[in-house]
Amino acid sequence: MSKHKIDKKHHSFTFLRKLRKKAKPAIAEKAFQRDYEGIKNDVKRQSVEMQSYDDNNRYGATLPLFDYNFNHVAADARMTGEYDDSYDDDEDLEDLD
Per-residue pLDDT of the chain (97 residues; tens, 9 = 90+): 334 444 555 556 566 667 767 888 898 888 889 989 999 999 999 999 999 999 999 999 999 999 999 999 999 989 998 877 776 656 555 555 5
Domain count, the chain: 1
Residue 37 lies in a domain: yes
Q: Return the closest-CA partner of residue 33 out of 48, 23, 22.
A: 23
* Interatomic CA distance for residues 18 and 31, integer angstroms: 12
CB 45 within 8 A of CB 35: no
Q: Does the residue 36 lie in any domain?
A: yes
* Backbone Cα Rg of the chain: 18
Residue 68 lies in a domain: yes
Q: Is residue 32 part of a domain?
A: yes
Considering the domain boundaries, does residue 71 fall inside one? yes
Range of the domain at 67: 27-79
